[in-house]
């Protein structure tokens, strides 16, 4: 609504927000949407939020869609921030929370980004959207494209959880399974998109999925009465959610809603695919591709993320870190979370609890810190991981 332009996250080059854009035309890095926040603040206030719709569109002034008629929605956002008292009690923690993104449409956090990306595609008159996906982004694109009357062309690794494949097929998407990883799927989209007339909505290769994801940051602040937690543990593949939250914190400070304090951000990856963890530990600005990537947590099987430098910068500036978890640990922690709190997390979400235990044991996180674990999807989409 108050979108002014797009700016490159690396070189700063400005791009027009009036036409579809992918990556920076100068350096090939992701673009961020920029807003007239002073204008937004005239109507977007803490007080005004009290009467607004319970969806991510409550933050309308800092979302990119011009006209309400172009909003494509299934009721995404405003997921609960659940206290986790029994898990917390095991570790002497009184302020442990689970942000349960499984309660979004399509049962994952990917609904947020695809709602804004597909809405902008509708605004621009696009008809065919394509995405490489490890599973949940595919399901979200299939749903929102169907809602908007668009074609969805989806490329997933052949070993993607069966639930994701069925989900896409039943919502009318064109599904292609690839022998390989999400990077191989991305290469196929890149090779074919010009000839096929597709617009690529890959993670951070268009500027608006991150706008939907940033509402995680706005919601955290609002749900904690305009304070931020001390610690955030976030499962990271492409990293759009972590990047989006960091962007939201900056915007909220400019709106006058929060101060300069930031949560310590911790990225959680799988031992079999940990490019960000390795780069963080090595002090590198960019992350080398993780060769031979493997993990049962399909959302973490992203061997190379285009937004790696943005993530690494946020982790370091926040005083946070990066940790890798084994598949065995995350699968075991699924039951521990489920039995204690009634939340059936995806392996990626359970990995955050495994990471919390390790970081508490190391003294990196203190029991008295307010800590938020992100559960990004439901374990129901990963039944192959359990009992067999």
DSSP string, 272-296: TB-HHHHHHHHT-SS----TT---S
Tell me if 143 is assigned to some domain: no
Q: Read off the pLDDT of residues 341-350 as tens digits, 9 standing for 90 and up.
A: 999 999 999 9
Tens-of-pLDDT digits for all 388 residues of the chain? 799 999 999 999 999 999 999 999 999 999 999 999 999 999 999 999 999 999 999 999 999 999 999 999 999 999 999 999 999 999 999 999 999 999 999 999 999 999 999 999 999 999 999 999 988 999 999 999 999 999 999 999 999 999 999 999 999 999 999 999 999 999 999 999 999 999 999 999 999 999 999 999 999 999 999 999 999 999 999 999 999 999 999 999 999 999 999 999 999 999 999 999 999 999 999 999 999 999 999 999 999 999 999 999 999 999 999 999 999 999 999 999 999 999 999 999 999 999 999 999 999 999 999 999 999 999 999 999 987 5
- How far is residue 318's CA from residue 246's CA, in Å, rounded to a whole number? 9
Residue 129 located in a structural domain? no
Identify whether the C-beta of residue 30 lies closer than 8 Å to the C-beta of residue 24.
Answer: yes
Number of domains in the chain: 1
Instruction: Give residue-wise pLDDT tens across range 232-259.
Output: 999 999 999 999 999 999 999 999 999 9
Which SS3 state, helix, strand or coil, does residue 88 take? helix
pTM to 2 decimal places: 0.96
Position 277 in a domain: yes
Judge whether 171 lies within some domain: no
DSSP letters, 134-168, are SSHHHHHHHHHHHHHT-EEEEEEETTS-HHHHHHH
Which of 178, 137, 139 has the alpha carbon at shortest distance from 159? Answer: 178
For CA atoms 216, 217, 222, 225, the dihedral sign is: positive
Q: Which residue range(s) make up the domain with 245? A: 81-106+209-385
Q: Which two tokens stand for residue 142?
A: 């299939």
Residue 66 lies in a domain: no
Closest by CA position to 355, among listed 368, 338, 340, 337: 337
Q: Which of 203, 222, 42 is nearest to 134 (CA)?
A: 203
**Residue 228 belongs to domain with CATH number:** 3.40.50.1100
Q: Does a structural domain hold residue 286?
A: yes
Strands 96-100 and 371-375: parallel
Q: Is position 127 within any domain?
A: no
Q: And the tokens for 371?
A: 């800590």
Residue with tokens 């065995």: 328
- In angstroms, rounded to a whole number, what is the distance separating the alpha carbons of residues 298 and 276? 16
Residue 41 lies in a domain: no
CA 10 remoteness from chain centre: 20
């Amino acid at each position: 609504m108050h979108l002014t332009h797009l700016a490159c996250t690396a070189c700063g080059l400005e791009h027009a927000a009036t036409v579809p854009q992918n990556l920076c035309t100068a350096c090939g890095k992701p673009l961020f949407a920029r807003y007239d926040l002073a204008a937004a603040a005239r109507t977007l206030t803490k007080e005004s939020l009290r009467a607004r719709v319970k969806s991510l569109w409550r933050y309308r002034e800092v979302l990119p869609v011009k006209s309400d008629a172009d909003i494509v929605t299934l009721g995404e956002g405003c997921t609960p921030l659940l206290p986790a008292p029994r898990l917390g009690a095991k570790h002497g923690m009184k302020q442990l929370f689970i942000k349960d993104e499984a309660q979004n449409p399509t049962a994952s956090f990917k609904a947020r980004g695809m709602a804004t990306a597909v809405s902008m595609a509708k605004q621009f008159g696009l008809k065919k959207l394509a995405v490489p996906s490890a599973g949940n982004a595919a399901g979200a694109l299939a749903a929102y494209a169907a809602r908007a009357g668009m074609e969805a062309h989806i490329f997933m690794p052949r070993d993607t959880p069966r639930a994701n494949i069925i989900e896409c097929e039943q919502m009318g998407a064109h599904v292609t399974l690839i022998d390989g990883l999400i990077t191989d799927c991305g290469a196929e989209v890149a090779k074919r998109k010009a000839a096929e007339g597709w617009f690529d909505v890959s993670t951070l290769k268009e500027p608006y999925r991150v706008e939907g994801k940033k509402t995680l940051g706005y919601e955290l602040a609002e749900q904690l009465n305009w304070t931020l937690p001390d610690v955030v543990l976030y499962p990271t593949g492409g990293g759009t959610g972590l990047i989006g939250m960091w962007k939201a914190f900056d915007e909220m400070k400019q709106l006058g809603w929060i101060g300069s304090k930031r949560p310590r951000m911790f990225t959680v990856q799988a031992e079999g695919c940990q490019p960000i963890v390795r780069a963080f530990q090595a002090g590198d600005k960019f992350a080398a591709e993780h060769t031979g990537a493997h993990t049962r947590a399909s959302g973490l099987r992203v061997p190379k993320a285009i937004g790696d430098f943005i993530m690494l910068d946020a982790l370091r500036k926040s005083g946070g870190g990066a940790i890798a978890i084994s598949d065995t640990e995350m699968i075991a922690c699924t039951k521990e979370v489920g039995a204690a709190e009634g939340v059936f997390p995806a392996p990626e979400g359970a990995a955050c609890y495994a990471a919390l235990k390790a970081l508490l044991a190391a003294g990196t996180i203190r029991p008295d810190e307010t800590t938020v674990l992100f559960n990004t999807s439901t374990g129901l989409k990963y039944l192959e991981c359990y009992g067999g």
